[in-house]
């Protein structure tokens, strides 16, 4: 079965040009995170939507930088629904315009998981693979899903090697498998965009986690949030 690391979506802008959206490279995600306080501190939905459109402008620098020179220029090319689609696919900010919940609350709740991640620590571990000449190049090359799957694979390979060497000495590392729980919990939070309480939570079965399990959210399984 074919697998994907993240979801993409094609949208057609107001000038008729179709673009394929994908998660932001960390370089742009950092910029968005710095500007997201405007959404969080907005006085009502109108201000929040204006702030979200500024965040969408940051996102579009990855896909069509020529239309992001000014905010006014961007708004000539995108509709409000385009802005919601851009933020959803590129940054995991989910807004349902049919929901009775305020736009600001929807945006803040779905974007809050970024602050729970120690990006510098995660990047430093991946950087040791020796593929990138500096952190700037790394952040321009990887999105968060790509960073997480690279880190996950690297850790699994390292563990498999240690497990093999330990087995040759008669030691079973799987008896200490509980020590890996913290890593699994963090992956669950990332892939569920902060919604999963732990690695066993059903909303953790998304993206690559769902594909490894053979099912999950977006693969024939859905869930309903009960307040």
Mean pLDDT score of the chain = 80
Task: For residues 43-58, give the mean pLDDT.
Answer: 95
Q: What is the pLDDT of residues 66-123, one digit of tens each?
A: 999 999 999 999 999 999 999 999 999 999 988 999 999 999 988 766 666 788 888 9
pLDDT at 206 over 80: no
Q: Pull the structure tokens for residue 139.
A: 């952040």
| Gap between the Cα atoms of 224 and 107, Å rounded | 18
pLDDT value at position 187?
60
Q: What is the pLDDT of residues 34-48, one digit of tens each?
A: 999 999 999 999 999
User: Among 151, 45, 28, 41, which residue's Cα sits nearest to residue 89?
Assistant: 28
- In a 13 Å sphere around the CA of 40, the CA atoms on its Cβ side amount to 12
């Amino acid at each position: 079965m074919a697998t994907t690391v993240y979801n993409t979506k094609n949208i057609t802008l107001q000038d008729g040009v179709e673009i394929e959206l994908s998660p932001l490279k960390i370089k742009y995600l950092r910029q968005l995170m710095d500007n997201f306080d405007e959404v969080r501190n907005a006085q009502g939905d109108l201000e929040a939507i204006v702030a979200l459109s500024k965040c969408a402008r940051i996102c579009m620098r990855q896909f069509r930088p020529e239309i992001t020179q000014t905010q006014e220029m961007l708004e000539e090319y995108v509709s409000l629904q385009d802005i919601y689609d851009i933020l959803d696919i590129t940054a995991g900010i989910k807004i349902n315009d049919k929901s009775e919940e305020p736009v600001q609350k929807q945006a803040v709740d779905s974007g809050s998981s970024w602050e729970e991640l120690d990006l510098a620590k995660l990047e430093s571990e991946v950087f040791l693979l020796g593929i990138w000449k500096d952190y700037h190049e790394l952040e321009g090359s990887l999105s968060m899903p790509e960073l997480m799957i690279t880190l996950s694979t690297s850790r699994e390979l390292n563990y498999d090697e240690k497990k093999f060497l330990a087995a040759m000495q008669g030691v079973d590392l799987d008896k200490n498998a509980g020590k890996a729980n913290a890593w699994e919990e963090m992956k669950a939070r990332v892939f569920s965009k902060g919604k999963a309480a732990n690695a066993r939570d059903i909303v953790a079965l998304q993206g690559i986690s769902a594909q490894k399990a053979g099912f999950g959210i977006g693969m024939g399984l859905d869930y309903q949030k009960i307040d």
